[in-house]
A and B are shown apart, each in its own frame.
Chain A
Amino acid sequence: MKSFDHINRRAHLYLGLFLLPWFVMYGVSSFVISHHAWFGAGQEPPWDVVSERPYEHAVPSRTDEAELRRLGVAILRETGAEGAFWAERPRPDELRIMRFTFWEQTRLTYLIAEKKLRTEHQRLRWDQVLLRMHVRGGFEQPGVLNTLWSIIVDIVCAAILVWIGSGIFMWWRLGRIRRWGLLALAGGLLSFALLMAGL
């Protein structure tokens, strides 16, 4: 029977190998987000108008967040563009749906009074792609794949807790370096606490 020590080491290792792409993605994207000005923040890629056509869909005079989501789902289904999206109503006679993937986004603007639907497309820069991957999550978006991605986000978080716990256990088992490890751990905790108090 495998010892706990063995299982602990293997869990730390194989979780790390399996989740390697996500971990690297979060690391690199975090750096880009933290220094976004270096990577062209504020310079939005151009929007290309794909089409502008007559379109009609009933829209209540008042729409809350839930109603906006329902309208977004319905309009995207009618236009054959189902998937992850955000919806807003910037003006009483305008409904805006932002349909997005990691790589691009499509903006559908429904001008209610004019009964017109404008579709625009934007190809994202690599730094925006990384940002999209980083912030993608939650369980509001339709579709199984969106839900699965969010589940994996949860798994990555759980894995981080496992890595911390299993890593501390592995360190503690190495009697020779307990003192240095304790210094590192205490140093980190103290630094964090001081920053919380002083910021």
Chain B
Amino acid sequence: MSQTSPEEAPVAATGRGRSASRLLRRLHLYLGLFLVPWMLMYAVSTVVMNHRETVRKLMGDGAPKFVPERELEFTRDFPAGTAPDEVARTILEDLGLAGAHRVSGGRDGRPLVIDRQHPLGNRRLTWRHETGKLVIERETIGAPAFLERLHRRRGFQHPYALEDTWAFTVDLTVITMVFWALSGVCLWWELRPTRTFGTLSALAGVLLFAFFLSRL
């Protein structure tokens, strides 16, 4: 029902040019639609981090707290000399909680503590080998902390497929950001009526950016 107006029509004259322009437009569009959740998350989380003190005053300290979730017996035996990391991985797999985590303790009589990282709140598992008692606590976090953690989450450093998938989506988002910038410039240049004001806008932005780089 809606078509672009004549002045909006791109000036790519040749068939091949029109196809390339169309492909660029479609990619610009569909990548944009697919990555809406990621871009929303990065934008809102950045505002939260940029106004950390204000958010803290409005929403309270928001420091994450751990509350007990459950307690159970975990009496599995491990061969002598098994590394705490290996023990932690096995415990998480047995409980159906496999995923990114950090491990501490588990040596010299200290309980094994596993911090299972999760965007919606970490879990802390504390296991005492001698008693077999496993305590699981759930972290309650507010929206600001949740958003900040999500913003910072990245990386292929964990050996889990879902972690790699998330890291891949982060890569896709950042590469697409550069693509949007470059494809946006190409698509703009096709719109002849907008070239003057567009050039002024782009120049103003570049000059301002350069000014900040030289002074900050």
Taking beta carbons and an 8 Å cutoff, which residues of A are in contact with B?
A: 5-6, 9-10, 13-14, 16-28, 30-31, 33-34, 84, 101-102, 136-140, 145-146, 148-150, 152-154, 156-158, 160-161, 163-164, 167-168, 170-171, 173-175, 177, 180-181, 184-185, 187-189, 191-193, 195-196, 198-199
Contact = CB atoms under 8 A, between A and B. Distances in A.
Contacts of B188: 13, 16-17
Nearest to A29: B174
A157 B29 contact: no
B167 A17 contact: no
Contacts of A138: 49-53
Given A196-B119, A199-B99, A23 B181 contact: yes
A19 B177 CA distance: 12
Q: Is the interface of B mostly helix, strand, loop or mixed?
A: helix
Given A157-B44, A157-B47, A181-B29, A149 B154 contact: no
B185 A195 contact: no
Given A20-B185, A164-B39, A199-B166, 19 more contacts: A13-B184, A13-B194, A14-B197, A18-B204, A23-B180, A30-B173, A31-B171, A34-B167, A138-B50, A145-B216, A149-B212, A149-B216, A154-B50, A171-B29, A174-B2, A191-B169, A195-B162, A199-B100, A199-B153
B213 interface: yes
Contact of B216 (A5, A28, A84, A139): A84
Interface string B154-197: 11000000110111011101111110110011001001001001
B194 A195 contact: no
A18 B33 contact: no
Interface residues of B, number: 71
The 7 A-B pairs with the shortest beta carbon distances in the complex, nearest first, are: A27-B177, A21-B209, A192-B37, A188-B34, A160-B43, A173-B2, A30-B174
Contact of A34 (B32, B174, B191): B174
B92 interface: no
Contact of A199 (B49, B52, B119): B119
Interface of B: 1-2, 5, 8, 26, 29-44, 46-47, 49-53, 99-100, 117-120, 153-155, 162-163, 165-167, 169-171, 173-178, 180-181, 184-185, 188, 191, 194, 197-198, 201-202, 204-206, 208-209, 212-213, 215-216
Nearest to A180: B30
Contacts of A9: 8
A198 B50 contact: no
Given A14-B197, A20-B206, A196-B119, A154 B177 contact: no
23 contacts: A10-B194, A13-B191, A20-B206, A21-B209, A23-B181, A27-B177, A27-B178, A31-B174, A33-B154, A34-B167, A101-B216, A138-B49, A146-B216, A154-B47, A170-B29, A177-B29, A181-B33, A185-B36, A188-B33, A189-B36, A192-B37, A195-B166, A199-B119
